[in-house]
Amino acid sequence: MAEKLSAVKGMNDIAAPESAHWEWLEDKIRQLMARYGYRNFRAPIVEPTALFVRGLGEVTDIVEKEMYAFEDKLNGEHLTLRPEGTAGVVRAAIEHNMLYDGGKRLYYMGPMFRHERPQRGRYRQFHQVGAEALGFVGPDVDVELILLACDLWDELGLTGITLEINSLGQPAERKAHREALIRHLEAHKDQLDADAQRRLYTNPLRILDTKNPAMQALVEAAPKLMDFLGAESLKHFDTWRALLDAQGVTYRINPRLVRGMDYYNLSVFEFVTTELGSQGTVCAGGRYDGLFEQIGGKPSPAVGWALGVERILELLKSQNRLPTAPVADAYAIVPDAAVLPQVLPVLRALRRAGVAVLMHTAGAEGMGSMKSQFKKADASGARFALIFGPDEVAQGQVSVKPLRAVDGQVVAQRAEALADAAHWAASLR
Ligand code: ATP
Ligand code: MG
């Protein structure tokens, strides 16, 4: 036998029944996005490497070590499997002049790729849903995005997700803070771990985000960006907060909340849970007013978030919120293959009428006994068996037998409706 092949490490197959949970979640998201006026956007999964290097920043984790970058064998182009969605959205907005007649709200969902150490809640191919509001200065739209996320948690029945917010101010304010921060860290250089040493002059803000317990006291005592914000930035932050307060949205101000990408300014936020171990951030985002210019567009304000689909699904599972959907409404039992010419059009008519029907198919031994067909019908998870025995078919009828006694009355009603539908379908022949 040929050698077995397996999926790439950190990249998962998603099969039934889990794939039904994905579809269910995606449907919920689509409906909610529509209600908020966010329209679907689909970008290519491969983009020029330069987009991420310029958009995310050269010294970010993603660009430094997480990108699946490669050279196109045919024309030598430098390409990258997208590690996130925002840069592609902004690239497209510039390329197609999407903001010519005002702001745009859009959302995307799909796979992202980062070369990380695979663990619970952290994969190499993972999926994000992102919502982006392009061309709006906020902070009203920053609030809208938060409410959108909160409504999604409610819609999904999720609890225990808390919101953390911060302001990153504007580049000049960050520069002043950065200098003070470097001075503080330099004064305690002996306490910095290797990662922090490496980032000291390239991305010191990111050091504040360290998970190393030995460095907590040091980062706790570090100068806070909040203290460097000017009047305009503080006003944006305060208005954002006041609007959140007015909606009864609770949050915690986390002065150490910075984001992985360079492009953020002003509002930044994360939704976190304590239920997923160390991979507790389920959704994160913020304002990125500088990104359009950074990748060659006209300056345009923008804000957005991205949620991790795998983490949301895991939370749904642990909070028992995933639906248990039956595979099919009915399973068609066909004792004798000779009646198939009459059976197939009935099943087709039922499906056209909206009934999900699974048909018994022949094995190597033919159709099999009634007993074995009933076993299969039962195992399929279908609610009803439709029996196409020779007598039934001869009379243009079909017997409907409930397989599951979920709720007696419901089953009886459904059986009746199904019998009607089957009868009607049969009459179409
Ligand atoms: P972390 O600090 O956990 O690495 P991040 O700042 O890199 O997160 P973002 O780039 O903001 O994450 O992505 C938004 C969301 O996407 C995260 O909050 C998380 O839910 C999800 N996510 C990010 N990376 C992964 C991954 N490798 N596997 C699964 N989900 C991920
Ligand atoms: Mg990361």
User: Which residue's CA is the nearest one to ligand 1's atom 6?
Assistant: 260
pLDDT at 203: 83
> Is the predicted pLDDT of residue 260 greater than 80, yes or no?
no
- Mean predicted confidence (pLDDT) in 137-150: 96
Atom of ligand 1 nearest to the CA of 279: 3
* Neighbouring residues of 54: CB distance < 8 A, sequence distance ≥ 6: 294, 295
**Strand 265-272 vs strand 162-167: parallel, antiparallel, or unpaired?**
antiparallel
Summarize the confidence of residues 121-128 as an average pLDDT: 97
Residue whose CA is at the smallest distance from ligand 1 atom 19: 308
Cis peptide before 111 (omega within 30 of 0): no
Q: Name the band, by pLDDT with cuts 50, 70 and 90, for residue 409.
A: low
Give the pLDDT score at 365: 85
Choose the residue to mutate in 122, 132, 278 for probing ligand 1, maximizing ligand atoms within 8 Å of C-beta: 122
pLDDT of residue 258: 81
Q: What is the pLDDT of residue 202?
A: 86
Tell me the ligand closest to 278's alpha carbon.
Answer: 1
Percent of the chain with pLDDT over 70: 96
Distance in angstroms (rounded) separating the CA atoms of residues 77 and 114: 20
Answer yes or no: is pLDDT of 407 > 90: no
User: Could you tell me the distance, in angstroms and rounded to a whole number, from the CA of residue 389 to the centre of ligand 1?
Assistant: 55
Give the closest ligand to the alpha carbon of residue 259.
Answer: 1
Does position 411 have pLDDT exceeding 70, yes or no? no
**197-218 residue pLDDT tens:** 988 998 888 888 888 899 999 9
Mean pLDDT of 212-240: 93
Answer whether residue 157 shows pLDDT above 90: yes
- Our mutation pick for probing the ligand 1 site, out of 309, 311, 313, counting the most ligand atoms within 8 A of Cβ, is 311
Backbone φ and ψ of 294, nearest 5°: -60, -30
Which atom, in ligand 1's list, is nearest to the CA of 282? 20
CA of 55 to the centre of ligand 2 (A): 16
The one-letter code for the residue type at 83 is P
Could you identify the atom of ligand 1 that is nearest to the CA of residue 260?
6
Indicate which ligand has the atom closest to the C-alpha of 115: 1
Q: Quick count: other Cβ atoms within 10 Å of Cβ 71?
A: 11
Amino acid at the residue 121: G
pLDDT (tens digit per residue) in 29-53:
999 999 999 999 999 999 999 999 9
Global pTM value: 0.89
Q: What is the mean pLDDT of residues 308-323?
A: 97
Least confident of 81-90, 138-147, 188-197, 294-303: 188-197
User: If you take atom 25 of ligand 1, which residue's CA is the nearest one?
Assistant: 122
Residue 420 CA, ligand 1 centroid: distance in Å: 51
Ligand 1 atom nearest to 83, measured from its CA: 10
Residue 364: band (very low, low, confident or very high) from pLDDT cuts 50, 70, 90? confident
- 387 CA distance to ligand 1 centroid (A)? 50
Pocket of ligand 1 (CB under 6 A): 84, 114, 116, 121-123, 126, 128, 260, 279, 281-284, 306, 308, 310-311
Q: Which residues contact 115 (CB under 8 A, 6 or more apart)?
A: 65, 66, 67, 68, 124
In order of their start, the domains of the chain are: 18-169+229-318 (3.30.930.10), 330-428 (3.40.50.800)
Q: From the CA of 18, how far away is ligand 1's center (Å)?
A: 21
Among 61-75, 189-203, 415-429, the minimum mean pLDDT is found in 415-429
Q: Give ∠ CA 107-111-115 in degrees, rounded to 5.
A: 130
* Number of the ligand closest to the Cα of 85: 1
pLDDT band of 406, cuts 50, 70, 90: low
Ligand 1, atom 2: closest residue by C-alpha: 260
Looking at residue 64, its amino acid is E
Ligand 1 centroid, distance to 70 Cα (angstroms): 22
What pLDDT is attached to residue 421? Answer: 73
pLDDT at position 169 over 70: yes
Q: How confident is the model at residue 417 (pLDDT cuts 50, 70, 90)?
A: confident
- Judged by its nearest atom, the ligand closest to the C-alpha of residue 120 is 1
Among 36-40, 301-305, 327-331, the least confident range: 327-331
